Chain A
Amino acid sequence: MKKGLFAGVFLGLALLVAPAAAEEPGVIRLGAAVSLTGKYSSNGAFTRKGYDLAVTKINEAGGVTVAGKPYRLEVIYYDDESTPARGAQLVERLIQQDKVQYLLGPYSSGLTEAIAPVTEKYGVPMVEANGAAISLFRKGYRYLFAVLSTTDEYLRGAVDIAARLSDDPAKLRVAMAFENDPFSQDVRDGVLADMKRHGMKVVVDDKLPPELNDMSATLSKVKALRPDLMLISGHDKGASLAIRQFADQRVNVPMLALTHCDSARIAENFGPAAEYALCAAQWASTLTYADDLFGSASDYARLYEETYGEVAPYQAAESSAAVQVYADAFERAKSLDPEDVRNALAETQMMTFYGRIEFDETGKNIAKPTVLFQVQDGQYVVVYPEEFAEAKIRWPTPPWSER
């Protein structure tokens, strides 16, 4: 009974796939398992919108030409329900049943980590745009490429600015509150090395539990110890909670830097309470990067807003860039063999609206720095790196009694 059912489904699929392949020879199919339901559903949706926007744009511009023959791009999506096991299972299905030979990444490091062993096993290249954990690139994966900056880079800019603004960086005292998950702990590891190099002193080093709904214990400590710099990373929830409780508890710190404050929309949601906060981000629409397909970063942001009616988040931008990387690699590989495409990917050297993309031997992008925004008068303004900055950093943050 069960066997018969499987055979039936398989036959059905084969019948569906076979004529389609025969009629439309010029289609390159990419596959992706993204989170459309579950806890990553909003960021999963951004990821998909980013992929779709790039695919549409590339197809409108004539598709990709591989060894003289034009091809259209197409993406097969599955919903991984934000669970790693499901993601791995679906990727197996994409490769085995749907015969997809090139994968786009899922949303989040956790899911990428679950999927990478599968793509590695089948020798299928995966260009991912939303798994930034540095641990992904310490496992010697050959078919994994990431267009974004890795997690350890996220808050290094804040440490760098703090050191530059201070007369004696060795005197700086730092408070840290990082969620106890791989992403945030990677961010922590990234800044620790820099702080040690500058001789900064860590006065608070709290690990926020993932179920945390209140951080007043940490903030009371910060109030007592008066550090010069506070670093926080705990996804959208951590950023929102930190901004809310910094204001409620009137915590005075000259510089506060966080991750995820743009996806948590702190400036929109918290108004004046979010002022002066520094936010690490992969990309900003005000950066001066540009390419031939989308134009400049701000052109991309405009197109995204026209298409989807919302402001372009960096999760969508990097996802679009991943598709561009594939298109570029197909053309340079002059072949659709996954191994040739993989080798072409490894030699990628391109400028995109999202930033420069060049992979090192572990597959991570080493050509693009992370940026820091500061919330200034309700706007996210790029203040770091200085060569791309729109405005100077406002520092130090005045105490609450003067705000």
Chain B
Amino acid sequence: MGKRICGDTNMVKAYLYTIELMITLSIVFLIITFVFNAPSFRPDFGKNVIKKSIINSAEYMYYNDELRKFMENNNESLVEARIIQMVPDTITIEVSDNCDTANLPQFLDVYRVKYYIAGYQERYFFKRICISGWEQ
């Protein structure tokens, strides 16, 4: 009988260990799910999105020679209007042919892409154009 009592106690202990182990594993899996469900901090991709939007729209204008054509006549306002059509509404665009910073906001993150133009059709000229953008 004494042996049986001892055996029962061991069995109860074994059950308890198994239950504890299963509870621990459940907690571990629950926390894994919780931790990997959402990043612990929100990465700031906003600035990269702005920059990428400006680059993509400027590339489009550059490769179909619109940028070249507009810059031949120093028509920055046309470049600006075309870029505004292509970027999200939340982004404000400023185009400058001498890359000055006078009209840029002082307290916001401004992203800027630069292009060089060496002429249009047969005419040679050198132009530097800066397209700046920031979130409103």
Do A and B form a real pair?
A: no
